[in-house]
Amino acid sequence: MWAGGDCVEVLNLVSGRYQHIALGTHANKQGLVMGTNIGGGKASFPGVVGTAVSKVCSVEIARTGLREREADAAGLAWEAAVIESTSRAGYYPGAAPMTVKMLAERGTGRLLGTQIVGAEGAAKRVDIAAVALTAGLTVDQMVFLDLGYAPPFSPVWDPVQVAARKLVGRVH
Ligand SMILES: Cc1cc2nc3c(=O)[nH]c(=O)nc-3n(C[C@H](O)[C@H](O)[C@H](O)COP(=O)(O)OP(=O)(O)OC[C@H]3O[C@@H](n4cnc5c(N)ncnc54)[C@H](O)[C@@H]3O)c2cc1C
Does 85 lie in the same domain as 159? Answer: yes
Does 30 lie in the same domain as 96? Answer: no
Q: Give me the chain's average pLDDT, please.
A: 97
Name the residue of 2, 10, 23 to mutate for ligand 1: max ligand atoms within 8 A of Cβ: 23
Does 131 lie in the same domain as 93? Answer: yes
Does 59 lie in the same domain as 17? Answer: no
Here the CATH number for the domain that contains residue 115 is 3.50.50.60
Does 66 lie in the same domain as 16? Answer: no
Q: How many domains does the chain have?
A: 2
Nearest one of 172, 166, 159 to 84, comparing CA atoms: 159
Q: How far apart are CA 138 and CA 44, in angstroms?
A: 26
Stretch 92-98: mean pLDDT: 95
1 pLDDT band, cuts 50/70/90, is: confident
Q: How far apart are CA 53 and CA 85, in angstroms?
A: 19
Does 69 lie in the same domain as 17? Answer: no
3-state secondary structure the chain: CCCCHHHCCEEECCCCCEECCCCHHHHHHHHHHHHHHHCCCCCCCCCECCCEEEEECCEEEEEEECCHHHHHHCCCCEEEEEEEEECCCCCCCCCCEEEEEEEEECCCCEEEEEEEEECCCCHHHHHHHHHHHHHCCEHHHHHCCCCCCCCCCCCCCCHHHHHHHHHHHHHC
> What per-residue confidence (pLDDT) applies to 103?
98
CA-CA-CA-CA dihedral for 31, 35, 37, 40, to nearest 10: -170
Question: Range of 11's domain?
Answer: 5-38
Does 114 lie in the same domain as 30? Answer: no
Whether 6 lines ligand 1, by a CB cut-off of 6 Å, is yes
Residue pair 29/47 in contact (Cβ under 8 Å)? The answer is no
For 56-82, what is each residue's pLDDT tens digit?
A: 999 999 999 999 999 999 999 999 999
Atom 20, ligand 1: residue with shortest CA distance? 24
Whether 150 lines ligand 1, by a CB cut-off of 6 Å, is no
> What per-residue confidence (pLDDT) applies to 80?
98
